[in-house]
Every structure is written in C-alpha cells, then in structure tokens.
Amino acid sequence: MRFACDTGGTFTDLIVEDGSGKLSMYKAPTTPEDPVAGVLDALGLAAIDFKMDRADFLAHGTMLIHGTTHAINAIVTGNTAKTAFLTTAGHPDILVLREAGRIEPFNFHVPYPEPYIPRSLTFEIPERVGSNGKIVEKFDEAAVLRVIAKLKRAKIEAVAVCLLWSIVNPVNERKIGRLLKKHLPGVPFTLSHQLNPALREYRRASSAAIDASLKPLMARYLGGLTERLGAAGFAGRTLVLTSQGGMVDARDLAERPIHAINSGPSMAPIAGRHYSGGERKTPNAIIADTGGTTYDVSLVRRGRIPKTRETWIGRPYRGHMTGFPSIDIKSVGAGGGSIAHVDGGEILHVGPESAGAVPGPVCYRNGGDQPTLTDACLVLGYLDPNFFLGGLMKLDVAAARRAIEQQVAKPLGLNVMQAAWSVVGVATENMVQAISEITVNQGIDPADAILIGGGGAAGLNSVFIARRLGCRELVIPETGAALSAAGAMMSDLSSDYRAMFFTSSADWDEAGVNAILKDLEASCKEFATGPGEGAQTTKIEFSVEARYAGQVWEIDVPLRKSRLRGKAALVALIADFHDAHEEVFAVRDDGSVVEFVGWTASVRCRLGSGRAGRVRHSAAEDIVLGKRKVYFENHGRVDTPIHSLQSLKTGQRKKGPAIIETPFTTIVVDPGASFLLARLGSVHITA
C-alpha cells in the first residue's frame, strides 16, 4: 500500500493506492502551526474508510510520498535560521548587488530589495582562485578561525559558503567545510560547489544561502514527520517531492532542503501530462491547479514539461532567486479561500489575500468574517452545503449570504446573486490572466491547448475559464481534486548531477567533455544502486547548457547519447542547439560559434507503475441526486440536474446546465456547455 500526501495552504490531500492499484482520496484541513497533524488526520480518515485502526492501517504502508509548502512558507514568513554568509575577500556584496533587472524600469519609488542574508552577517575570507582553477591568493586559515569565533559569539544557526570560482577548483571551500565541522560542530553549512556547481555568482551564492537557512528547520520538520509517522505505526519509506518534478528520501532532502521550495505544485503537471496524453493526443495542455489559497498554472508542451531557470521566491527582481531550474509554474493568489473586498473606489477585488484553513471562508463557521470565492459559489448554488467533503463538513449558507450582501452587494449596489457572480467573475479573470501570461510567454495559443482542471476548487469555474480562453476542451480528471497527490504517485525517485566544463564548437575538447560525462554517469549509477535500488526501471539522461559566443544566457540542449565521439556527434549537437534556440527565441545563426558551459546528468528511478489507477468508489455514490436552483449569468436561477460522478455512463454526452458532485469536488457545467465521462474516469467538457 502506498500513500501520497500533499499539504496545501487550506487542505491536506491524501491518495492511497492499495495492492490492486485502486486509488482512494481523502482531504483533511491543514493545520498551519503543525502541518504533520494534517497528514496524520488525513491518514486517520483513510483508516476509518478501510475499517482499520490507524496504526494497523499505517503498518500496511510501504511508502509515503509527501509534498509540502513548509520550506517556502518559512522563507516568506521570515522563519528561517540565523545564517552567516562566507565569501571571497573583496566580494561581500554578491547578495546585495544580485542581477540586473526591474519590473518597472522607471518607477524609482520601489525600494531596492534587502539581501537574503544581511550585510552584517557577511564575512570575507582571504583567498582567491582564478577562472582557470589556479590559486591566485593563498588561503588564510587563521582568518577563517577568527571568523568562526565571531559566528559563535553571534550564535549563528547555519552557514553558507560561496567562494569565487569554487566550481573550477573547490579546494578552499572544502577547507572551510572541514574547519566549520571541527570548530562549529552541530551547525549545518552549505558549500556552493557541492550544492550548485553552475556559472553566475549571484545564483550560486543565493542558492547556498537559501539552502543553509532552511537546514535547521527542514531537518526538524522532516525528522519530526518521520518520527511521528513511525510512532503512529508506519514503518515504510518516507519520500519528499522536489521542485524539479521528482522525489527523494526525506533524509536526503534534509541535506539539500532548497529542492523542497516548490515541492507540492510541481506534481500537478506530472499528473496533467498523464491525463492529457492518455485520453487526448493534444500537443499542448494547460494544467490549472486550484487550491484553497493559490491558483497554480503549468504547461505540458508536446509531452514535455517545461522548466525555467528564472525561479524566484517572490516577485522577479524583488524576491530571491533559487539558482536552480525547476518546473515552470505561475502562481497567483486566487483559490477557493480568496477573500473578496470592495476598495474605496468601489472596485471589487478577489485575492490575493486568502482566508486559508484558519479561519477559512465564512461558511465554514470557524471564525472567518470576510466573504471568499467559496462563499460566493455556495450562495450561487454551486455547492451543496450538506455534501462538502462528502458530508464531513456542513456549510452555513445564511452566513455566506450575509457576508456577500454586506461586504460586496451593498457597496456595489447589486443584489446578492449579482454580487456573488461578480466575485466568481473577478476570480475567473485573475486565473485567465495567469494562464495567458505563461502560455503567451512560451508561444502557445491557449485556444490550441486542452485545459486540465485540478484542485478541489477547479470545477467551480473552469468552464468559464475555458470559454474565456477559447480552449476547445476542458478535462477534470477523476483524481483532479488531489491532482498534485496523484502526480506524486506517478513521479520517479530522481537526482540531478551538474559540472562546469567550458568548450566551444571552434575549439572542441572531446576528451574533456567525455571525461565529465563519465563522472556524471558514475554519480547517477551510484544513486541508482543506492537510493534507487529495486526500481522497476532506471533512466539516465544528459544535457548541456549552451549559447552562441557572446550571449549572456544559456539554454538546455538534450544529448542524444551518453558520450560525444567523433565529428558527426559534434555536428549533431550543434544542429540540436540551433533548433532549440530557434524554438525558444524564433531566431538561429548557423554560422556562429556555439559555446558549451555546463553539463547535467539526470537519473530517474521508477518505483511505481508511473501511472494513476482508477479511483475506488462505494455503491452509495452511484446515484442521481435530483435538481436544485443554480444561478448562471444571463440565465438567472435555473433548475439544474445534480449528478454524482458515478451515475454518468462512459461516453454518453449530456448538455448543461448540470452539477457533477464527488465527495471532494463539484463540477459546474453551465447552459452553454456539454460533457461526458471518458474511459479513464475524467469528465470532458466542451464549453
């Protein structure tokens, strides 16, 4: 039995895969002050459903895959460790100067962002390595010991080390690591050449700083998760999702916690790729994961999930860069818990503020007093107040109606239904803009893509989003209410290994390149025979960061083979770069010299089947639920058939209006749309 758990801002999603491959889904409210409690609560619900004691139920588990927002929340809220930054003497402002760029070039009222580690906790180390790897200035050990004494007095909790050109010759970073281990025992540290051996000083320094600052917190969190699961009866393997779309053992992630920053959201496109390819051979798919707090948008492009090197925590140029490529996800503050308010100019806003899990929407009766998207959908009749989370939570329609009336309808001079619809309309537009941004930036016309709706709140307005974008088809997967957790079931145990080695098409060093690739492959094989032992399949892929001579930025080019031997291999690599450059930038220059900078080997070990099974349903769900009054714009309140998902017959198309209910999500189909149940259990809607 395998468990996949995704801790969101409002709900903790759990998917259980039994021995036959059947899936079961559960949701429990997230406990912000103790996220592990939400995981255990969801497991408790599953145990009850399986008619077992929780300890006995957990004892049947062989693996628990966990996605968490704990790392990113710690950074956003400033709850990371007190961290020192050690760098080469004469270069203390790496984190201050950062990289050039402004969102608003001529708005000089925007203050320059603070460095991730304050200047007061930055220490200069006398040493210098040249770009060729040769020692320019001798390492001063006595100076390092004096710095360590200052760190002790300052009660530093973590240390980040980033020296110039350590990616070419890491000897001095290693020396600092040994001294920290000896003279500052118990204080975790990060060496940049080990974590992120890549060009660009700011990105490498930023990644080291972020990683070090998370180590104490994530070690406690992941250690506590493992211990509490063990105390509850789980004796299996605990894995944690990464922002690169894979998973690693919890103990390994504690060593490099920066990879947990976008842990949960990275799984939605994994699941989206499965559903878009399994039921429709559409070249492009838009994956929209609607949670209680955020709306996360990603893409699948010709079966490939795009990644970005511009991974920022916060707004670009105003936040902090992770320095690592990660799955390209656009997040906006628009979810089921997004708060609606009218400003002084009588303009309606929805989000980015969220009611979260606590106090939650007004209708939760948990202390919330500001209307949310969920409250609006309840007032419109989209949600059944007695069937939320399968009946586990009763919603207060009257309270939601009062909040909408007092805080939205009256200020705007609307009736309650018009006001509630306006909330849905504004939220929809926010989501449409997020999709437009990520698709247009990558040269994709949303009208030529299929829209995959995931998350517990996805079904409420995805039809409206699809129509607004001109998407021909909307798919709500059977596991859509827990799309990220479903993606976790399909993900692989993975690791990436990187190395710097500069060469060019004009001065090609075949022996040097192949030596680097050999070392990277050896690291992948070591991973495959270590953490990946017993995997059903293992795959190693290679890529290179390349650019035209004189260009500032590189692009990734996959290698066709594990080695590059002979002139034909170089010619093919150059052609692949030109093709990739033309796809990204719409231009190519076949006559220019191509420079190859960084080399990467990725190993993926498949522990499961790599696909999602069908959801297990009880006979009690196989019913048609009747009708209720539902409000639609331009139609008013309409008698609308209410279907359970299991009452639909595969392949039989029906016309809207309709409401399709499952214990975890509600799918709204308006009068202008039609729908059918496809063979994998997904609902396909034509808007």
Q: Residue range 511-538: average pLDDT?
A: 96
Q: Residue 437: pLDDT above 90?
A: no
Provide the whole-model pTM.
0.85
User: Does residue 287 lie in a domain region?
Assistant: no
pLDDT at 146: 97
pLDDT at 604: 95
Domain extent for 663 = 620-686
Q: Are 338 and 347 in contact (CB under 8 A)?
A: no
Greater confidence, 305 or 503? 503
Structure-derived torsion over alpha carbons of residues 129, 150, 206, 525, reported in degrees to the nearest 10:
70
Number of domains in the chain: 4
Sign of CA dihedral 237, 61, 48, 335: positive
pLDDT at 472: 83
Residues 659 and 563 in one domain: no
Residues 107 and 60 in one domain: no
Q: Are 87 and 163 in contact (CB under 8 A)?
A: yes
**Boundary residue ending a domain (580, 606, 632):** 606
Question: pLDDT over 70 for what percent of the chain?
Answer: 97
Of 335, 236, 318, the closest CA to residue 4 belongs to: 236
| pLDDT tens readout for residues 372-429 | 999 999 999 999 998 887 787 899 999 999 999 999 999 999 999 999 999 999 999 9
359 upstream amide cis, omega within 30 of 0: yes
Neighbours of 225 (CB within 10 A): 22
Residues 166 and 120 in one domain: yes
**Boundary residue ending a domain (606, 635, 654):** 606
Q: Residue 597: pLDDT above 90?
A: yes
Residues 103 and 204 in one domain: yes
Which ranges of 475-565 would DSSP assign to H, the alpha helix? 483-490, 510-529
Q: Are 619 and 632 in contact (CB under 8 A)?
A: no
Q: Which two tokens stand for residue 183?
A: 């003279």
User: Does residue 200 lie in a domain region?
Assistant: yes
pLDDT at 478: 87
Three-state SS annotation for 390-429? HHCECCCHHHHHHHHHHHHHHHHCCCHHHHHHHHHHHHHH
pLDDT at 107: 86
Q: How far apart are CA 401 and CA 419, in angstroms?
A: 10
Sign of CA dihedral 170, 172, 178, 181: negative
User: Does residue 455 lie in a domain region?
Assistant: no
Q: How far apart are CA 679 and CA 687, in angstroms?
A: 20
pLDDT at 636: 92
CATH assignment of the domain containing 561: 3.30.1490
Q: How far apart are CA 474 and CA 572, in angstroms?
A: 39
| pLDDT tens readout for residues 163-208 | 999 999 999 999 999 999 999 999 999 999 999 998 889 999 999 9
Q: Which two tokens stand for residue 153?
A: 């007095």
Give the β-pairing of 312-313 and 320-321.
Answer: antiparallel
Q: How far apart are CA 534 and CA 62, in angstroms?
A: 13
User: Does residue 253 lie in a domain region?
Assistant: yes
Q: Which residues pair with 31 in a beta bridge?
A: none
Q: Residue 620: pLDDT above 60?
A: no
Give the β-pairing of 83-88 and 122-125.
Answer: parallel
**Boundary residue ending a domain (573, 606, 639):** 606
User: Does residue 470 lie in a domain region?
Assistant: no
Residues 156 and 234 in one domain: no
Residues 35 and 102 in one domain: no
Q: In degrees, to the nearest 5, what angle opens at C-alpha 542 toward C-alphas 536 and 546?
A: 160
Q: Which two tokens stand for residue 292?
A: 């209680």
**What does the buried/exposed string (b/e) look like for 463-495 if buried means 16 or more CB atoms within 10 Å of the residue's CB?**
bbbbbbbebebbbbbbbbbbbbbbbbbbbbbbb
pLDDT at 625: 67
E strand or H helix that includes residue 545: strand 537-548
Q: How far apart are CA 65 and CA 71, in angstroms?
A: 16
Residues 193 and 242 in one domain: no
Of 330, 331, 325, the closest CA to residue 246 belongs to: 325
Residues 591 and 663 in one domain: no
pLDDT at 431: 92
Residues 140 and 186 in one domain: yes
Residues 107 and 206 in one domain: yes
Residues 145 and 67 in one domain: no
Q: For residue 437, which phi and psi values (nearest 5 degrees)?
A: -65, -50
Q: How far apart are CA 239 and CA 493, in angstroms?
A: 8
Residues 114 and 193 in one domain: yes
User: Does residue 90 lie in a domain region?
Assistant: no
User: Does residue 87 lie in a domain region?
Assistant: no
CATH assignment of the domain containing 17: 3.30.420.40
pLDDT at 520: 97
User: Does residue 292 lie in a domain region?
Assistant: no
Q: Residue range 231-256: average pLDDT?
A: 92
